[in-house]
Structure 1
């Protein structure tokens, strides 16, 4: 089985070199390359990958910004011209950190590390349809989607509330909402709610998991329709 990989690199020479190495490697399937983190994020909203070759210094969004916006980042190998970012990079649980220019031996060594991790770590797409894996406190945790009561937006993070725990995850509400499915509805820009966990509803709020959650005017009509409230 080949690892599905992408390259995110704004330097054209470095990008072309990584593309060449990926295409030639027997264990990699090179899907696409991106000049910016923004373009890569759009791609990753709909396509699952196993590995990202990621530059640090790019345009408006850098490599770390991209990682913060992914609900469940795949394996990441950071490629950069400076060792100054190494400490921060490993705080994001990357697999390897390579200084440019990249030679073949160093490239192969990094791929071997990823292959080893892939054999020992569960993948999100290998879970049951009603489960997801999240990365929280540097661990991969399996969550039953039905156990999630609601999700709260904290800019580059989200809080996932279950009956017994709260998990803080690097993710966006949009990407997480797509993974959770139709049972969840974004009632407010700061809250995504499991419709099956809603206990009470009044004019402007609902109760879920013992918490009062606001309902925005823009979403209220659609929210009530999804609950099949009798009028």
Structure 2
């Protein structure tokens, strides 16, 4: 089933470009376009859609204000000529943030991300063989395969997610509690107030330390029971 989309932009040429781009995707259905942000906001309150393309700078209300006003927000792709709104797109957990003039290849990448995220949100455990989580990093949503995670480190309000396939950790604004809700209990465990480890990455446990493929982490006093649970390693 095609994703229902709405586009809101006070520039007619920008709307025409989005209509042209969307028409190239059989998996998208553009149900309405609006040059008036207030009319678009009113429509969205009465008609649920899957994906919203919305300009940030508009005369009545900004795209950011519009999205904040929605009780049930669809997936969001912001469009704008200004880079300085990137943080707002991050705060509102937008799927992506496209700078005008919008390149078709860049538009395609944003749409594919939205389609992928929609499948992820609506997947059941039985048909979700590609286990993954989505996090927001560097002002965009990214997909992380669970099998690539080695460990996660808490840095105050942020997390560093260390992956086996890159030397650069993913930095995301998220709490340990929130990420644990996303992770399957049979694959990950908290071993310290600052660390979560992937159980398949554990090589050994010795002297209250857990040795992973590429790191050695302490086991906190409050998590000493983890040692007994892993005696089979």
TM-score by length of structure 1 reads 0.51
CA contact (8 A) 1:136 1:169 kept: yes
Q: Give the alignment partner of residue 54 of structure 1, picking from 68, 72, 90.
A: 68
In structure 1, the residue matched to 2:195 is 191
Structure 2 unmatched ranges of 5 or more: 6-40, 51-65, 78-83, 96-109
What is the aligned-residue RMSD (CA, Å)? 4.0
Equivalent residue runs for 1:1-231 within 5 Å: 24-27=46-49, 53-54=67-68, 75=75, 88-90=87-89, 92=91, 94=94, 121=114, 122-123=116-117, 124-125=120-121, 126=123, 128=129, 130-165=131-166, 166-182=169-185, 183-221=187-225, 223-229=226-232
Cα shift at 1:141: 2.9
Question: SS in structure 2 opposite 1:206?
Answer: strand
Q: Distance in 1 between matches of 2:144 and 2:90?
A: 23
Deviation at 1:197, TM superposition (A): 0.8
Q: Distance in 2 between matches of 1:87 and 1:161?
A: 24
- Superposed CA deviations along residues 129-167 of structure 1, whole A, max 9, x for unmatched, are 522233323343332202211000012211111113211
Higher relative contact order (CA 8 A, sep 6+): 1
CA–CA distance in structure 1, aligned partners of residues 140 and 220 of structure 2: 34
Q: Normalising by the residue count of structure 2, what TM-score does the alignment of the two structures yield?
A: 0.50
Name the CA distance, whole Å, in 2 between partners of 1:201 and 1:153.
21
1:96-152 deviation per Cα after TM superposition (whole angstroms, max 9, x unaligned):
xxxxxxxxxxxxxxxxxxxxx778612132564522233323343332202211000
